Every structure is written in structure tokens, then in C-alpha cells.
């Protein structure tokens, strides 16, 4: 065991330290953290609607929340909160990423956020193309003229019934009006594009700022005005470079926008790969490995946890709120998963089924210590760590026991989360529990957190409890073995 620990310290720890300190990855991690005020507000709104709009319908036949005073108003208010948060999460992230990346380079962070946001917006769709067919007679000439003046294309289509051979003439209305921002380009679907364009645009901006290619004003000018003017040339150059790229890309790709291309060729395949059990377990193993050496594993893996699984979670939340294929709530998410439009395993799935008590599921280690340990130092730390552990804060047990660089804890610290992850994954993929469709703050106690995260699925706490029992059984033998070891002086 000591030989293994020494090997990991020599070869793995330096790599982990470099990853944890790389400024671009730190900026990306901080960008996701920076969006939390908005995304959590939107998630709370969706969660409240899940409880008062969707949950009662599972037990009360004919439940209609829209007809109940106060309830219907609360649902409407939560809808407005969602409009300004989850529905435009991509815009919020774009600004946060640009802000943090510019700060990492030591240049105007506010301007960096604006540049990143502008770079994303310039390449999204400014129209909402859609076509509908309406049987003639349902719309009069005046209504059609209004639609045509708004930019819609009016045509006719004749449909023949294969049985009766009766022909019916439909009016075809194709909406091509300009000035409608496509919501699917503003929400979580924009994350990957925001990362790419935000990275390029802000790097260009930062390099020009560092080379002092700026407008310099006299010292008598107020600092706020001087900073704004100094950012004009770098920001303009950066945004023009992105605009030239968007122009030629769109023309070369027969009108396809870069954001749509990224979604089809990068985001979807990457997120599809992330849904495999092997990928999920690998991510969990990497988190644990970093933590063992005292490096915040979830922070180091944040670009994947938040960039891939976090985006998947935002899409699930969006589908849960908007509905899909005529269904609402969890049924909508399940239908969307079948069509490849939503995801079975997301960021919150780790919290719900693996990270009870913190990374590694350490609440079960604390329980094993309180039941089986005969060491005074372990018992003292266990008692002190129990309170924070109930709220998924495990630094006291992580560094107080410690788990970090503690050879006897290495195997269970890696194995227990893998087992609990597999249990949660298999239960979700088998349909035994609803997929996570809500973002619940990580300090919500175990068992309650999975209940809320799955849209109030009563089976989720049971699955989480089974995972906790399994990890308890893994931790217990090592806690008992530690009784035979003398505490270091």
C-alpha cells in the first residue's frame, strides 16, 4: 500500500496539481460557479412547480393546478423566474466565462464578459423558422395578410386522403420573420459554443490589451471612462474577427450557423459518450483520486462535471418545465430521453446517488466509525464531522481523520463511490427511479436531496439508501482494520 501511495505521489500528484492550477481551466470552473445565483434561482422555481404542479397529479386524479387560486399564480411567477434564468443560461454563462477569463489574464474583466457575450449573440439565429398547415377557411384573407406583412411566406398544399381519395387544400404558413431570438441558442445548448467563441474572443481581447493597443486618455479623465475607452480597440478587433469567422463559416456551410454545427458535431456526441456507465465511473474515480491527494476533485473536474453533465442537467430542467411531446414533468423528460433530447445521467445524479455526505459518500464512513471504531481519535473526528456531514460538508472528515494520503482509506475511498454510482446509474437506466430533472443545492441532506432532484420521486431516497448501505459495508471492514493501527504521534 505504501509503495502504491508513493507511486501516486510521484507521478499522479504533479499532474493533478498542474490541472488544478491551470488558469484557463480555473477560469472555466469559476465561470460555472459564477452562474449559480441565476441557475439556482431558476432551479428553485422549477422545483416548486414540480411540487405544486406535477407531484399532486401522481396521486390525485384530475388535478388541475391552473384552476386553483394562488397555486396558479405561483406557477406563473415561477415561469417568469425561469424565463430569466434557465431559459437563457447560455447567455449568463457566456458573460461569466468572459469575465473570469479576462480576470485570469489581468485585464478589464467587465469588458471581457461583454466581449464573450457579444461573440455568442452575433452567431445565433435571429429568426424562428417554422411551418404550419391550416385547412382553408379557418383563416381569413386579412389574417393571412397580417402574417405575410410580418415576414411569413404563404402558400398552398393539396393533400389527398389515401382511403377516400378526397382532396383537401391547406394554407401553408412558413414563419421567416426576423428579430426572434431562438431560445435553443440561448439556453444550456449554447454552453459549448460559448466556451469556444468566448475563449477565442477574450484571448484576442486580452492579448491586445496586454500589448497596450488601446485608446489612451489624459490622467484627468475619470478611471471608469478611461477603462472603457481602453477596451474599445481590443474589443472591436476581437468581435470583428469572430464576425468574419461566422460569415465565412455560414456561407461555406450553406447557411448552417456555427452554434448548430457545434451542437451536432461536438456537443451531442460528447454528451452521448458521457451517458455510458464506464464514462460516469471514470469521472467519479478521477474526482476521488484528486481528493485523496488533497486537491478538490470536483473543482478540478468541473470543466467536465459542469460543462458536460451540467449542461445535460439544464436541458433536463428545461424539458421538465416546458414539456415535450405533449407530456409534462418527469414524463416529458423520459420521452425526451427516448428521442435523444434529454439525458439519463446529469450533474445532480452524482449528488443524489454518490456524494451523500460529500465526495466519496463519507456520511457512511462517519456512521461506520461511530459504530465500529475503537480509536479515540477516529471517534472524536467522527462526532465532530457528523453535523457537517449531514449537509454534505466533508472537509472535517477529509482532512481531520484524515482520508487525504491515508493509505488504509485509499481503497474504500475509491471503491465506495464507484459502487454507489453504479447503483444509481443502473437504477435510473432501468427506469426504477426518475432521472434527475431539478438542480438542488448541494447542502440539502442525503435522502431529501434525491427526492427533490428527481422531481419528488419517492423511489429516489430508497435507491440512495441502498447505495448508502452498500458503501457502509465497504467502509466498515477498513474502519475495523484501523482499530489495530496505532495513531501517529
Both 300 and 440 in a single domain? yes
Q: Is residue 16 over pLDDT 80? A: no
Q: Is residue 409 over pLDDT 70? A: yes
Of residues 422 and 391, more confidently modeled: 422
Omega of the bond prior to 449 within 30 degrees of 0, cis?
no
Both 462 and 380 in a single domain? yes
For the stretch 432-454, pLDDT in tens is 999 998 888 777 888 989 998 99
pLDDT of residue 469: 95
* 489 band by pLDDT with thresholds 50, 70 and 90: very low
Both 166 and 202 in a single domain? no
Domain boundary among 250, 272, 294: 272
Domain boundary among 156, 180, 204: 180
Both 186 and 214 in a single domain? yes
The predicted model gives 172-190 an average pLDDT of 73
The predicted model gives 454-483 an average pLDDT of 91
pLDDT of residue 269: 74
Contacts of 388 (CB under 8 A, 6+ apart): 394, 395, 396
For the stretch 60-82, pLDDT in tens is 777 788 788 888 899 889 889 88
Q: What is the mean pLDDT of the chain?
A: 82
Q: Is residue 267 over pLDDT 90? A: no
Domain boundary among 272, 288, 307: 272
For the stretch 95-115, pLDDT in tens is 999 999 999 999 999 999 999
Both 196 and 283 in a single domain? no
Residue whose C-alpha cell reads 472555466 in the numeric block: 28
DSSP letter at 53? I
Of residues 411 and 422, more confidently modeled: 422
Of residues 246 and 485, more confidently modeled: 246
Q: Which domain holds residue 162?
A: 127-180
Query: Is residue 425 one of the residues assigned to a domain?
Result: yes
Quote the percentage of the chain above a pLDDT of 70. 81
Quote the percentage of the chain above a pLDDT of 90. 27
The predicted model gives 158-174 an average pLDDT of 65
Both 476 and 439 in a single domain? yes
The predicted model gives 303-309 an average pLDDT of 79
Nearest to 120 by CA among 178, 189, 173: 189
Q: Of 212-226, 231-245, 337-351, 427-441, give the lowest mean pLDDT range.
A: 212-226
Q: Of 258-272, 337-351, 449-463, give the lowest mean pLDDT range.
A: 258-272
The C-alpha angle with vertex 411 and arms to 410 and 413, in degrees rounded to 5, equals: 65
Phi and psi at 118, nearest 5°, equal -65, -35
* 295 band by pLDDT with thresholds 50, 70 and 90: low
DSSP letter at 434? P
pLDDT of residue 187: 79
Both 209 and 304 in a single domain? no
pLDDT of residue 60: 73
pLDDT of residue 145: 61
Given the DSSP bridges, would you call strands 153-160 and 130-135 parallel, antiparallel or unpaired?
Answer: unpaired
Residues 357/366, Cβ–Cβ less than 8 Å: yes
Q: Of 131-135, 152-156, 359-363, give the lowest mean pLDDT range.
A: 131-135
* 358 band by pLDDT with thresholds 50, 70 and 90: confident
Both 329 and 470 in a single domain? yes
Amino acid at each position: 500500500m505504501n509503495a502504491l501511495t508513493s507511486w501516486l505521489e510521484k507521478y499522479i500528484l504533479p499532474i493533478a496539481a498542474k490541472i488544478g492550477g491551470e488558469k484557463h481551466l480555473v477560469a472555466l470552473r469559476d465561470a460555472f460557479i459564477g452562474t449559480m445565483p441565476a441557475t439556482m434561482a431558476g432551479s428553485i422555481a422549477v422545483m416548486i412547480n414540480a411540487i405544486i404542479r406535477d407531484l399532486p397529479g401522481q396521486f390525485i386524479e384530475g388535478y388541475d393546478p391552473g384552476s386553483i387560486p394562488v397555486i396558479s399564480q405561483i406557477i406563473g411567477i415561477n415561469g417568469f423566474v425561469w424565463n430569466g434564468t434557465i431559459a437563457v443560461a447560455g447567455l449568463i454563462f457566456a458573460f461569466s466565462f468572459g469575465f473570469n477569463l479576462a480576470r485570469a489574464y489581468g485585464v478589464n474583466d467587465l469588458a471581457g464578459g461583454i466581449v464573450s457575450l457579444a461573440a455568442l449573440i452575433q452567431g445565433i439565429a435571429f429568426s424562428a423558422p417554422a411551418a404550419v398547415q391550416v385547412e382553408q377557411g379557418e383563416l381569413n384573407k386579412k389574417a393571412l395578410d397580417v402574417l405575410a406583412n410580418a415576414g411569413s411566406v404563404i402558400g398552398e398544399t393539396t393533400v389527398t386522403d389515401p382511403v377516400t381519395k378526397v382532396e383537401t387544400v391547406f394554407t401553408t404558413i412558413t414563419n421567416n420573420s426576423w428579430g426572434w431570438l431562438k431560445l435553443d441558442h440561448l439556453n444550456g445548448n449554447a454552453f459549448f459554443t460559448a466556451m469556444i467563441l468566448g475563449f477565442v474572443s477574450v484571448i484576442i481581447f486580452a492579448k491586445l490589451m496586454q500589448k497596450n493597443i488601446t485608446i489612451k486618455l489624459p490622467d484627468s479623465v475619470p478611471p471608469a471612462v478611461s477603462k472603457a475607452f481602453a477596451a474599445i480597440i481590443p474589443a472591436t478587433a476581437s468581435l470583428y474577427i469572430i464576425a468574419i469567422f461566422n460569415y465565412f463559416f455560414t456561407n461555406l456551410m450553406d447557411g448552417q450557423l456555427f452554434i448548430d454545427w457545434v451542437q451536432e458535431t461536438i456537443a451531442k456526441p460528447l454528451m452521448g459518450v458521457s451517458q455510458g456507465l464506464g464514462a460516469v465511473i471514470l469521472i467519479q474515480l478521477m474526482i476521488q483520486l484528486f481528493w485523496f491527494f488533497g486537491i478538490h476533485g470536483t473543482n478540478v473536474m468541473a470543466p467536465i462535471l459542469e460543462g458536460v453533465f451540467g449542461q445535460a442537467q439544464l436541458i433536463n430542467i428545461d424539458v421538465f418545465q416546458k414539456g415535450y411531446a405533449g407530456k409534462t414533468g418527469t414524463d416529458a423528460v423520459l420521452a425526451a430521453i427516448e428521442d435523444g433530447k434529454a439525458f439519463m445521467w446529469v450533474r445532480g445524479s452524482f449528488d443524489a446517488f454518490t456524494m451523500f455526505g460529500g465526495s466519496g459518500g463519507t456520511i457512511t464512513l462517519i456512521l461506520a466509525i461511530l459504530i465500529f471504531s475503537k480509536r479515540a481519535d477516529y471517534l472524536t473526528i467522527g462526532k465532530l464531522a457528523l453535523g457537517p456531514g449531514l449537509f454534505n460538508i466533508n472537509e472535517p472528515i477529509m482532512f481531520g481523520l484524515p482520508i487525504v494520503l491515508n493509505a488504509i482509506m485509499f481503497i474504500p475511498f475509491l471503491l465506495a463511490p464507484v459502487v454507489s454510482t453504479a447503483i444509481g446509474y443502473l437504477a435510473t437506466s432501468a427506469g426504477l427511479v426518475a432521472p434527475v430533472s431539478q438542480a438542488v443545492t448541494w447542502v440539502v441532506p442525503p435522502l431529501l436531496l434525491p427526492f427533490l432532484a428527481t422531481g419528488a420521486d419517492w423511489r429516489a431516497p430508497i435507491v440512495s439508501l441502498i447505495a448508502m448501505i452498500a458503501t457502509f459495508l465497504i467502509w466498515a471492514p477498513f474502519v475495523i482494520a484501523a482499530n489495530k493501527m496505532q495513531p501517529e504521534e
